[in-house]
Homo-oligomer: A and B are copies of this chain.
Amino acid sequence: MTEEPGRPARRVGITDVAAKAGVSVGTASKALNGRGRLREETRARVRSVADELGFAPNNVARSLLTGRTFTVGVITTDSYGRFGIPVMRGAEDSLAAGEMIAFLCDGRDDPIRESHHLRKLLERRVDGIIVAGRSTDPRRSLGEDLPVPVVYAFSPSSNPKDCSVVSDERGAARLAVEHLVKTGRRRIAHITGPESHASSRERAAGLTEALAEQGLEPAGPPLFGSWTEAWGRFAVAQLLRAEEDFDGVFCGSDVLARGVTDGLREAGISLPDQVGVVGVDNWALVAEAARPPLTTVDLGLEEIGRRSAELLLKAINGDPSPGVHVVPGHLVVRES
C-alpha cells in the first residue's frame, strides 16, 4: 500500500512498554493483564509506563492467539428500519457490557448479499452472529453447521433447533384488550395489516382469544388491509358505514391507529369519550403526535435485542439456548 504521510509511523507496542519499564514483554503482559505472579511494585511501574506512553494493546494479535475476537456480527434484513434499530440498540447495550462490539451488515433481505456478509463475518472470525429481522414471519436459517453460534432476533428462524428471540404477539393483543375492557369498552373492533403477515394473524387471533376470556365477542371480523394511515381512515369509514356498533378499536400498529383516530375525529366522534383506541409499537414519533396521543402496546424491541445478545454471549461461552424465547411487551397508557 501507499505510506501514510504525516501520520505516526509506528504505534507503541508492549515491546516499547517493556523496554522502558526494564522488564521482558512477558512480564509486561502479565502486569497489564493482572496475570501471573509479580511484585506489586513491578506491576505499578509497568502500568504507569504504559499510561505514559499511551499504550493500547493490539487486539488483532491478541485475537490471533486466543481465538476470540470479542466481536459479533449483526446481519439485519431491515435496512436499519423501524424494527431493526431498537433491536440493535438493545443488542449493543448487552454486548458493550461484555466488552464486545458489533459489525453491522445490511442484508437488504437478499439471500445473496446475506451469505456474502456471512462469509465476510466468518473470515473476520466473529465470535457469534445476531440476525435481526424486520417482521415476525419466520425466516430461513443461516445453516446448522456454522462454526459460531447464531441468534435470530424478532424474525424467528424456521429451524426450531436455532435460537430465536421473538415478541409476544398474542400477549400484545391481550394487553390491549385488558386495557380496553378496564376502561369500560365492550364492543371492540380490529383494524390491522395484511392478512399475509404473521403479526396480523397472530394479533387478530390473540384478540379473539383475549376477548373470549372476558366473555366478549369481537365487534365484527378483523379488517385486514395495509400498514398505512390511509387504510386506518378508510377502515373507520367502512366501520361507520356498516353501522357497526363499537366503542373500542384495537389497531395492529400505531400508524394504523393514527389513521383511525384521525378518521374518528373527523367523523365527529369524540376521543377517548366515545371510542377507545389502542395501537401496537409504541413508536414515539407516531404515538405522541396523534390526537389524542395513543395508548399502545410496546413490543419490547430493545429488550429483544438485549436478550438476544445475552443468549448469544451465553452460547459463545459454551452454553447454548436453542428454541424460541418469547419476550413480553407492556402497555404504554396515553390518552386514547
Contacts and interface: CB of A to CB of B under 8 A. Distances in A.
Interface of A: 1-8, 11, 56-61, 63-64, 66, 68-69, 71, 74, 79-80, 85, 88-89, 92, 99, 101-106, 119-125, 145, 147, 228-230, 255, 258, 285, 289, 316-320
Given A60-B60, A64-B64, A317-B1, A80 B88 contact: yes
B103 A102 contact: yes
A104 B105 contact: no
B101 A120 contact: yes
29 contacts: A1-B68, A2-B319, A4-B316, A4-B318, A6-B320, A8-B147, A11-B147, A56-B123, A57-B123, A59-B124, A59-B125, A60-B63, A60-B69, A60-B124, A60-B125, A71-B103, A71-B124, A79-B89, A80-B80, A85-B85, A88-B104, A92-B104, A101-B103, A101-B105, A101-B121, A101-B124, A102-B104, A103-B104, A285-B285
A126 to B, nearest CB: 10
A80 B69 contact: no
Contacts of A122: 56
Contact of A92 (B71, B106, B147, B320): B106
A196 B43 CA distance: 50
Given A60-B124, A64-B60, A79-B89, A318 B5 contact: yes
A77 to B, nearest CB: 13
Total copies of this chain within the assembly: 2
A309 B255 CA distance: 34
A317 B2 contact: yes
A158 B188 CA distance: 56
Nearest to A12: B147
A64 B230 CA distance: 56
A254 to B, nearest CB: 11
A1 B119 CA distance: 25
A255 B289 contact: yes
A251 to B, nearest CB: 15
Given A80-B80, A103-B102, A229-B289, A59 B89 contact: no
A129 to B, nearest CB: 13
Contacts of A4: 316, 318
Contacts of A320: 6
A334 to B, nearest CB: 14
A279 to B, nearest CB: 14
Contacts of A120: 99, 101
Given A64-B64, A317-B1, A123 B89 contact: no
Contacts of A57: 123
Contacts of A63: 60
Contacts of A105: 92, 101
A24 to B, nearest CB: 21
Contact of A119 (B56, B89, B124, B147): B56
Nearest to A148: B7
